[in-house]
Amino acid sequence: MYGNKYNRIVRVSREEMRIFKNTDSNPTYGELEKSGFNQLIKMFPQRKLNSFCDLGSGIGVVVKYIAENTNLFSTIHGVELSEERFNVSIKLVNSIKNKNRKQQINLFHDNILFFNISDYDIIYISNLCFNHGFNEKLSKKLDCECKNSCVIFASQHITLKRQHIKTQFPVDQSWGKNTQMFKYDLIE
């Protein structure tokens, strides 16, 4: 069950727990605060950007922030494993008043390890609660599939073998103010 403002999960069903367990994932949920979003977009590259993807988009908060507060992307995607969170994200996106921006959004109910990520300019991942094994699989996927010049933002360190520039900066998230965010600029 979600709070009235769609800001946190209170209870996870047994079926959802099985899905997370079977995929070696984690049902813990946290999100980027509005102030954290403003900190995040200051770190976006100053070049033409077309596509954004939130891997593990939860209830769609970051997708909504991107659509309502930027004009940087013609494609805005969110990918969520939990059907319950995915359904809440659809309602949240439907609350966006700007029809043109709303049409640029696609939400996917899918496992992020199987979702094609090869065409995105920016990938955002709130992966702090993902276990080590899952983060390793995710790191390999990002390493193999992301296009050159993709920028990845992650709340926990990921291990990339390809050339990149890594920086850290603080953002406000639901579990704390000034938590670390990692930025990976892929250069090959």
Q: How many domains does the chain have?
A: 1
Give domain status of residue 12, yes or no.
no
pLDDT of residue 26: 53
Residue 18 pLDDT level (bands cut at 50, 70, 90): low
Question: Is the pLDDT reported for residue 105 higher than 50?
Answer: yes
pLDDT of residue 40: 94
pLDDT of residue 82: 86
Give domain status of residue 4, yes or no.
no
pLDDT of residue 178: 78
Give domain status of residue 15, yes or no.
no
The domain that contains 127 carries what CATH number? Answer: 3.40.50.150
- Of 126, 156, 130, 115, residue with least CA distance to 30: 126
To the nearest whole percent, how much of the chain has pLDDT over 70?
Answer: 84
Give domain status of residue 51, yes or no.
yes
Q: Is 148 exposed, middle or buried (0-12, 13-18, 19+ CB in 10 A)?
A: exposed
- Arithmetic mean of pLDDT, 83-94: 93
Contacts with 182 (C-beta within 8 Å, 6 or more apart), sequence order: 153, 154, 155, 156, 157, 158, 166, 167, 168
Give domain status of residue 41, yes or no.
yes
Q: What does pLDDT average to over the chain?
A: 87
Residue with tokens 């926990």: 156
Give domain status of residue 45, yes or no.
yes
Question: Is the pLDDT reported for residue 138 higher than 90?
Answer: yes
Q: Could you list the residue range(s) of the whole structural domain that residue 141 is in? A: 27-186
Give domain status of residue 170, yes or no.
yes
Residue 25 pLDDT level (bands cut at 50, 70, 90): low
Question: Is the pLDDT reported for residue 52 higher than 90?
Answer: yes
Question: Is the pLDDT reported for residue 42 higher than 70?
Answer: yes
Question: Is the pLDDT reported for residue 9 higher than 50?
Answer: no
pLDDT of residue 2: 42
Give domain status of residue 5, yes or no.
no
